[in-house]
Amino acid sequence: MKLIARAIPTAFAFLFAGVITGYAQQQGKPVVGLVMKSLANEFFKDMEEGAVKHVQERGDLTLIPVGMHSETDIDTQIDAVENFITKKVNAIVIAPADSRALVPPVARAIQAGIVVINIDVALDEAAKKQAGVSLAFVGPDNRLGAKMSGDVLAKALGPGGKVVIIEGNPGADNAQQRKLGFDDAVKEGQLDLLDSRTAHWETEEANTVFSNLLTAHPDIQGVMAANDSMALGVIKAIDAAGKTGQVKVIGFDNIPAVQPLLKDGKLLATIDQFGSQMAANGIDYAMKALQGEKLEGWIKTPIKLVTASGNLATASGK
């Protein structure tokens, strides 16, 4: 039997997970559940692939990866955690879609004796305190990354450049931090921020949101998209409006789909936060915690600015 399940729809995943969990426990291997966000996003497909490869190389644990159908399908993530509790996995590595809504199920997992490692999106500190839980965060500096990307746009447009921000899910800490980073770049670059709207990390929603913004503000010169999936939707709207080359766009994530857009100038910059490496780190920390190591605070992971001319700057996770 293969001891690494591919990320599949949640209902079926947990029918299969019960078989895997029982088998793995008989073999004496820890079982780690990886709870990701939307697998329609290439960033999380890459995260899954990297995690699976890493576990195969380690060979000392069983991984059960699951993901959401869409970025707003928070109930699926909650169900995933609850199911992992029922299956009595040894550890859960989670990239929460909502920083507050996932705290109660995570708290129940910890109370059930399951090690939980929070990656990618930090859980809300106030909600954790209220639930009586404390756990480390393994992830990047999203505010700094957004500022690095935003600075590229500010330099390209110059003071007074008219820009808008396309935000991620408002309930997610990384969306909030990226918005703050973009705001930092706007302020320092003396840009003119016309509007800021959420598109919940989704390509098609971003396409619609930006099309409407372009109608309301036909003089937009630049767009700060909080992830590359939304940047794709924005660029599609720019092309459809016949404004190719007239509106500059930046993103975040460095997914494969934006590589041609970087080369032809449709995307000025993005941020690589090494999703596959982040999940692997989370799994490694879960195994360390299972062996008794205490993890605290923010364990920073690296980010890198990527432009058409290459990698311009790196912020270390150390």
- Any idea where the domains of the chain sit in the sequence? 10-139+274-300, 142-272
What is the Cα–Cα distance from 308 to 230, expressed in whole angstroms? Answer: 19
Q: Which helix (H) or strand (E) holds 313?
A: strand 310-315
Model pLDDT for residues 56-69, shown as the tens digit of each residue = 999 999 999 999 98
Residue 149 half-sphere exposure, CB side, CA atoms within 13 Å? 38
User: pTM of the full predicted structure?
Assistant: 0.90
Q: Which residue has the tokens 């993530």?
A: 77
Per-residue model confidence as pLDDT tens digits over 188-240 = 999 999 999 999 999 999 999 999 999 999 999 999 999 999 999 999 999 99
Q: Is the pLDDT of residue 79 over 70?
A: yes
Q: Terminus-to-terminus CA distance in the chain, angstroms?
A: 38
CATH superfamily, with its number, for domain 10-139+274-300: Response regulator (3.40.50.2300)
Coil, helix or strand for 67? strand
Q: Which two tokens stand for residue 186?
A: 């706007």
Region 245-256: mean pLDDT is 97
DSSP string, 232-299: HHHHHHHHHTT-TTTSEEE-SS--GGGHHHHHTTS--EEEE--HHHHHHHHHHHHHHHHTT----SEE
Above 60 in pLDDT, residue 288? yes
Alpha carbons 162 and 156: distance in angstroms, whole number: 12
- Can you name the residues that pair with 249 across neighbouring β-strands? 223
Q: Report the largest interatomic distance among the alpha carbons of the chain, rounded to a whole angstrom.
A: 65
What is residue 300's predicted lDDT score, i.e. its pLDDT? 95
Q: Which amino acid is at 240?
A: A
* CATH topology match: 10-139+274-300 vs 142-272: yes
Give the per-residue pLDDT at 25.
Answer: 54
CATH 3.30.9.100 is the classification of domain 142-272: no
Question: Which of 38-42, 96-100, 121-125 is predicted least confidently?
Answer: 38-42
DSSP state of 218: T
